[in-house]
Amino acid sequence: MKILVAVKRVIDYNVQIRVKEDGTGVVTDNVKMSTNPPDDNAIEEAVKIKEAGKATEVVAVTVGEEKAQETIRKALAVGADRGIHVKVDGMLEPLAVSKILQKVVDKEKPDLVFMGKQAIDDDCNQTGQMLSALLNWPQATFASKIEVKDNTLEVTREIDEGLETIEINVPAIVTCDLRLNEPRYASLPNIMKAKKKPIEEIVASDLSLDVSPRLEQLKVEEPPKRKAGIKVANVAELVQKLKNEAKVI
Ligand code: AMP
């Protein structure tokens, strides 16, 4: 079984995001970037499945600028076997990324595609679902547990009402939740070894796809500043303030 894992380079989750003065986006120059957090879970799960003898190869793929290769290197350092870097200038929308991933799937013919449930930069939560539709493959989103069976997967999903367990046929798309596992750290020797693992480069414009934007971004602005909280002396004062000042009860 071959597992393809999609990993995206995003602004590190610890960074305080700043909006550009002209409101055209967020500041990315000299900002720490790293792998989208649920994509780390996706890689971890694929590597664990391989270590359990249920997969033969884990391939990490990213769609992004030159520097997105760091994301592939990190995946290689924690156990992926090889990487594919589809080079694009700037950011693409989920539909464009899904079309590119569809081409990669057509070429690589994986049995499973693991992805993050959501990218923390655009918060779209669309790419896995769109890829599933383009490929006409079953999907299991928000996976917090994955069990590989003969030609099927049993996936536990994090949903609003609690946990849902479904069984889907392989090949399939699975989008991973942060609760799926605890991603390992890359050790220094493994970081060094990862430098020797192969990364194939594909230029997105050679794929003859329409990746033009479907959305027009009008403005990006900071969320309103939150007012400082206050301390109340007792429950009676709290109830009085909720009633008369906040007017919420
Ligand atoms: P999104 O639909 O943008 O919230 O992204 C969901 C998931 O799709 C991410 O967690 C990644 O696994 C994958 N993905 C999105 N964009 C890219 C990209 N440029 N390169 C590789 N994977 C991506």
Q: pLDDT tens digits, residue range 106-126? A: 999 999 999 999 999 999 999
CA distance 241 to 244: 5
CATH number for the domain that contains residue 17 = 3.40.50.620
Beta strands in 121-243 (DSSP E): 139-148, 152-159, 162-169, 172-176, 199-203
Does the pLDDT value for residue 128 go beyond 90?
yes
- Domain for residue 230, yes or no? no
Residue 152 β-bridge partners: 169
Residue 83 β-bridge partners: 60, 199
| Distance between Cα 228 and ligand 1 center (Å) | 35
Q: pLDDT tens digits, residue range 220-239? A: 998 888 889 899 999 999 99
- Domain for residue 231, yes or no? no
Q: How many domains does the chain have?
A: 1
- Domain for residue 233, yes or no? no
Nearest protein CA to atom 8 of ligand 1, as residue: 127
- Domain for residue 238, yes or no? no
User: Which of the four pLDDT bands, split at 50, 70 and 90, describes residue 90?
Assistant: confident
Q: Is 85 in the pocket of ligand 1 (CB under 6 A)?
A: no
| Distance between Cα 36 and ligand 1 center (Å) | 8
| Distance between Cα 12 and ligand 1 center (Å) | 15
Mean pLDDT of the residues in the chain: 96
| Distance between Cα 180 and ligand 1 center (Å) | 17
Q: Is 120 in the pocket of ligand 1 (CB under 6 A)?
A: no
Domain enclosing residue 149, as ranges: 2-224
User: pTM of this prediction?
Assistant: 0.92
- Domain for residue 70, yes or no? yes
Q: Is 10 in the pocket of ligand 1 (CB under 6 A)?
A: no
Q: Is 69 in the pocket of ligand 1 (CB under 6 A)?
A: no
- Domain for residue 84, yes or no? yes
Contact predicate 25/47, CB 8 Å: no
Query: Tokens 């649920």 map to which residue?
Result: 38
- Domain for residue 247, yes or no? no
- Domain for residue 149, yes or no? yes
| Distance between Cα 115 and ligand 1 center (Å) | 7
